[in-house]
Amino acid sequence: MKFKLLQLEQRIQELESLADEVDQLAVKQGSGKDVQPELSTKGQRWYRGTREIFVQQNSSGLNEFESCYTQILQDVISGSVFVIGDPNMHVEFGKTLALARSLLAGVIEEIKSRELPIKTQLSFAVSADEFEKALELVDSSGGDEVFLRAGGVVGRVALERHLWAVVDAHGVPLIVNPPTKKKAEAQDLLTSLVKANVITSIQRSELESLFAIGNNCAHPKDTVVQADVERLIKRGRELASVIL
């Protein structure tokens, strides 16, 4: 996805450079200089190239972009309507062209927003598999503490990994407390998600209790209860499925 976005950004930059040339040629045409067929050719290249991006990306801005083109851009680019010496004509042309260009620039942000659920859904798919493996460890443990602890640790890792993917996908600013701490911890992760309104305070409290169970599983001196480990895995999977 990042490679595709990079390619798209490069193509948009090319079209932006072409739009600059079209604008400059329109100014010359308005002052009485003969810039045809260059203006028409470059104008069509810009319009066709830009429109295809809206179509390929299924962008919500397609109709608005086409509206810009039919209003004034087409007439100016073709040279059919452009009163020499009339400054108002180029002002209107410039406004319409600027709007069309802003719509094109917005396509990138639209795609990035569209990508968010894809990233988090893929993350949950991976985590769901890990939760399943964790539950298998617990179910087959026969009460053996080693397997119970292993299941709890795997479940905790799956939950935390998914939440980090959510932070990354949403671009959530990470709040580290204290700021001098070398590495962010689960508590920092939850604080950041609440601050960004991705999770509620109630969800945070429940996640904290689940992480506490996972932490107990990782430390041999702490008591491990099978029911708690099962809750960590099952409820952790449920929460991960709705925090996307």
Q: What are the b/e assignments for 163-190, b being 16+ CB within 10 Å?
A: bbbbbebbebeebbeeeeeeebebebbb
The pLDDT score that the predictor gives to residue 154 is: 92
- The pLDDT of residue 114: 67
**What's the chain look like in SS3?**
CHHHHHHHHHHHHHHHHHHHHHHHHHHHHHCCCCCCCHHHHHHHHHHHHHHHHHHHCCCCCHHHHHHHHHHHHHHHHHCCCCCCCCHHHHHHHHHHHHHHHHHHHHHHHHHHHHHHHHHHHHHHHHHHHHHHHHHHHHHCCCCCHHHHHHHHHHHHHHHHHHHHHHHHHHCCCCCCCCCCCCCCCHHHHHHHHHHCCCCCHHHHHHHHHHHHHHHHHHCCCCCCCHHHHHHHHHHHHHHHHHCC
Residue 128 pLDDT: 72
Query: For the segment 177-199, what is each residue's pLDDT rounded down to a tens digit?
Result: 888 888 888 899 999 999 999 99
Asked whether residue 90 carries a pLDDT value surpassing 80, the answer given is no
Q: Is the pLDDT of residue 121 over 70?
A: no
Gyration radius from the chain CA atoms: 28
pLDDT surpassing 80 at residue 89:
no
How much of the chain exceeds pLDDT 70, in percent? 89
The reported pTM is 0.53
204 pLDDT tier (thresholds 50, 70, 90) = very high
Q: What is the mean pLDDT of the chain?
A: 85
Q: What is the mean pLDDT of the segment spanning 18-38?
A: 89
Percent of the residues in the chain that have a pLDDT greater than 90, as a whole number: 41
Residue 106 predicted with pLDDT over 70: yes
Mean pLDDT across 63-71: 88
Which pLDDT score is estimated for 83? 53
Q: What is the mean pLDDT of residues 225-230?
A: 93
Length of the chain (residues): 244
What residue segments make up the domains of the chain, in order of their start?
Answer: 2-111, 140-242
- Asked if 176 and 165 count as a contact pair (C-beta separation under 8 A), the reply is no
pLDDT at site 117: 56
Q: What span, in angstroms and rounded, lies between the C-alpha atoms of 35 and 26? A: 8
User: Which of the four pLDDT bands, split at 50, 70 and 90, describes residue 82?
Assistant: low
Output the CA torsion 211→207→119→161 (10° steps).
-10
Report the alpha-carbon distance of residue 27 to residue 82 in Å, rounded.
Answer: 10
Weakest mean pLDDT among 3-7, 8-12, 213-217, 233-237: 3-7
Per-residue model confidence (pLDDT) at position 209: 95
Span 232-244, average pLDDT: 88
> Using omega within 30 degrees of 0 as the cis cutoff, is the peptide bond preceding 220 cis?
no
